[in-house]
Amino acid sequence: MAYLIFSLSLLLIYIGLAQMLHVQFGLLGIPNFGVVGFWGLGMYAVGIMQVQLDMSFVDAMVLNALLLAAVSYGLGHLILRLERQAILCATIAFSAIVALLAVTEKWMTMGVVGLGTIRQPFRIFGIEEILFFIFLLILIIGIQFYILKLHKSRLGRLMIATRDNEELAASLGKDTFRVKLIAFTLTSAIMGILGGLSAPLNQFLTPNMIVPSITFAVWISLVLGGKEHALGSMLGVFVTFGLFDILIETYAPVSPEFAVLVPNVKLFLYGALLVGVLVFRPSGLLDQRTPSDAVVGTLGRGVLKGAVAIHQGVTKGVATVQGKIEHRKKGGGT
């Protein structure tokens, strides 16, 4: 039971990361391949502030959010003007730097020995994990509502315009760089906050937690679920992390000699799924249009076509009748 709550809390963290990546890549077209860098930096920052500096959880989270916002703002200033492949390389380099510093700065992070123990924020004996899970659940649902609203807002449309044709959006007087910078700063800082929230979840931090596979797990979830759809990130995480990590790894009846293979099979299938989706259905499981949009669109097109057909038919009919009248008039004249 305790393990299930831990897994579900981790699932929520992954959903949060995928949601942020959805805003960055799905809406704005910023290919952030350094997700684990922001997450890991936040996690270690909170861990260090709690264990080495003995700060309270709330203070640590606030300071962590400010730190992450400053780092993301600085990095965004450096890279967001670059073309997409360059942004991708720069962010992946950033996450590699974070992972290396977690190993080298032993005076702060305790290096490969590991940093611990990080206390639970809710100190009510027995139900602290459940309370933390509920807190995460409310947070993620809140973010999801905001993203659903964002899709319908002016800002959301501006983001999509920036993604699809930045020159055009800029020529209409929109400060696209500022939009990208602010959105990147905020979403990356939230990735760091989610990292900070993972610190009490994991309790004990080691540098080998900051591995690129986390970045790719989030990416695979997003691309699989549908990168441009508001609910795609959530669906993707349920299919990847929920299905493989929680259901299969924890509950499937696997014999011990195969159990060691399961993580490798999982990563193999992640890769295969990603290739399959990109080759056969590039937009992911959920299209960027919601089902209702699609229905409305089809109906709308149907009505429009019908109207055009009727209009054409009427014009033709009128013309024919007119022609006949003319003809008759002429015929009557001669």
Partner 1 sequence: MWLIRDSIFIGLLEASPLILAAMGFTLIYYLNGFINFAYGESITFGAYFAVLFNVGLGLNFYFAILPAALLAGALSVATYLFIFKPALNRGVQPSEMIILSVGLSFMLRYGLVLFVGAENTYLAEPPVAFFNFAGMGATNLQLIALILVIIFALNLYWLIYKTGYGEVIRGLANNEELAQVSGINPHKVSVRVWFIAGVAGGLSGIFSGVFALANPQMGWNLILITIMVSIVAGVGSVRGALFASIVAGILTSFITLISKPLYAEVVLLMAFILILWRRGGRIA
Task: Enumerate binding residues for partner 1 (CB under 8 A).
Answer: 29, 31, 75, 78-79, 81-86, 88-90, 92-94, 96-97, 100-101, 103-104, 212, 216, 219-220, 223, 261, 264-265, 267-268, 270-275, 278-279, 282
**Least spacing, CB of residue 77 vs partner 1, in Å:** 9
Q: Does residue 109 have a cis bond before it (omega within 30 degrees)?
A: no
Residues in Cβ contact with 73 at an 8 Å cutoff, skipping those fewer than 6 apart = 181, 185
Which lies closer to partner 1 via its Cβ, residue 151 or residue 163? Answer: 163
Which lies closer to partner 1 via its Cβ, residue 9 or residue 109? Answer: 109
**Least spacing, CB of residue 219 vs partner 1, in Å:** 6
Which lies closer to partner 1 via its Cβ, residue 191 or residue 273? Answer: 273
**Least spacing, CB of residue 316 vs partner 1, in Å:** 40
| Three-state secondary structure readout of the chain | CHHHHHHHHHHHHHHHHHHHHHHHHHHCCCCCCCHHHHHHHHHHHHHHHHHCCCCCHHHHHHHHHHHHHHHHHHHHHHHCCCCHHHHHHHHHHHHHHHHHHHHHCHHHHCHHHCECCCCCCCCCCCCHHHHHHHHHHHHHHHHHHHHHHHHHCHHHHHHHHHHHCHHHHHHCCCCHHHHHHHHHHHHHHHHHHHHHHHHHHHCCECHHHCCHHHHHHHHHHHHHHCCCCCCHHHHHHHHHHHHHHHHHHHHCCCCHHHHCCHHHHHHHHHHHHHHHHHHHCCCCCCCCCCHHHHHHHHHHHHHHHHHHHHHHHHHHHHHHHHHHHHHHHHHHHC
Q: How far apart are CA 109 and CA 99, in angstroms?
A: 11
Which lies closer to partner 1 via its Cβ, residue 201 or residue 277? Answer: 277
**Least spacing, CB of residue 118 vs partner 1, in Å:** 25
Can you read off the two tokens belonging to residue 170?
Answer: 């800029």
Which lies closer to partner 1 via its Cβ, residue 60 or residue 217? Answer: 217
**Least spacing, CB of residue 37 vs partner 1, in Å:** 11
**Least spacing, CB of residue 277 vs partner 1, in Å:** 8
Which lies closer to partner 1 via its Cβ, residue 34 or residue 200? Answer: 34
Which lies closer to partner 1 via its Cβ, residue 104 or residue 298? Answer: 104
**Least spacing, CB of residue 6 vs partner 1, in Å:** 24
Which lies closer to partner 1 via its Cβ, residue 6 or residue 177? Answer: 177
Q: How far apart are CA 105 and CA 93, in angstroms?
A: 18
**Least spacing, CB of residue 282 vs partner 1, in Å:** 6
